[in-house]
Structure 1
C-alpha cells in the first residue's frame, strides 16, 4: 500500500518557495534589508535571527524528503512528528531560548510565510503514513 502525498507536498513546495522569497528580501535584491517590506526600522540583530529561523524552517524538509523517498511509513511518521514539533516551536514564545525567539520572525512574515498551512500539510502526511503503519 502506497500513500499519495502529492497534494501535501505541493502545499509544502509553496511554503518553501514563500520562505525562500522572504529570505531573498534580506539580500541585495531589496538593498540588504527587508525593513521597507516589513514596515519596520532596519535591525541587523533581528535580521540575522530572521534569516536563521527562515532557513531553519527549510532545512527540516530534507529529513521528510528522505523519509518519503525511502518509502518507509515509520520514517515518514517520525520525520513528520519532528517537523510538527519544530514548527510548533516557531509560533510559540519559549523562555528557554532567551532573546533568540523564532515567533517574532514568523509573526513579521506571516502574510507571506504561513506556518499553519505547512503544519496542516505535515499533519496530513503524518496521518496518511500512520494509517499505513497501522494497516
Structure 2
C-alpha cells in the first residue's frame, strides 16, 4: 500500500529542525548559557530531544508500507505529544514537558507535529478502507 504523506513529512521535518534550534539555545551557542540554571537547561534538553527520538517508530512503519502499522505509529505518537501540549498531570515525570514547549514555543510548536501526525493517521485509515 502506498500512502502519500509528503506534505506531512515536510511539516515534521520543519518541526524537527525547529526543535534542534531550540536545543541549540541550551548550548554554548546561547550568550547567556553560563548564567542559566544547569538543572533547568538539562530538563529542557531532555524534553526537547525526547520529542524527537520517538519518530523512529513512524519511520519504520512508513518503510514497511503497512497501513495498520502507520496508523498505530502515528496514533501512538499523537497521544505521546499530548504530554508536550496538555501536560502530564501526576505521571511522576522529571520536569515539565509542557512547560518546556511553552518556553520554546517561539521556536517550535508541538501542535504542528501533532497535526501532521493526525493527518498521517487519517491517510493511513483512508488507505485501509479504500485498499490503496
- What TM-score, normalized by structure 2, do the two folds share? 0.89
Equivalent in the alignment of 2:115: 120
Conserved in 1, the CA contact under 8 Å of 2:43 and 2:94?
Answer: no
What is the RMSD computed on CA atoms of the aligned residues? Answer: 1.8
> 1:63-85 deviations in whole A, cap 9, x for unaligned?
11111111111110110011111
Q: Secondary structure at the match of 2:91?
A: helix
State yes or no: 1:68 paired with 2:62: yes
- More RCO (CA 8 Å, sep 6+): 2
State yes or no: 1:80 paired with 2:74: yes
Conserved in 2, the CA contact under 8 Å of 1:26 and 1:32?
Answer: no
Equivalent in the alignment of 1:19: 19
Q: What is the total number of aligned residue pairs between the two structures? A: 129
Gaps of 5+ in 2: none
- What TM-score, normalized by structure 1, do the two folds share? 0.87
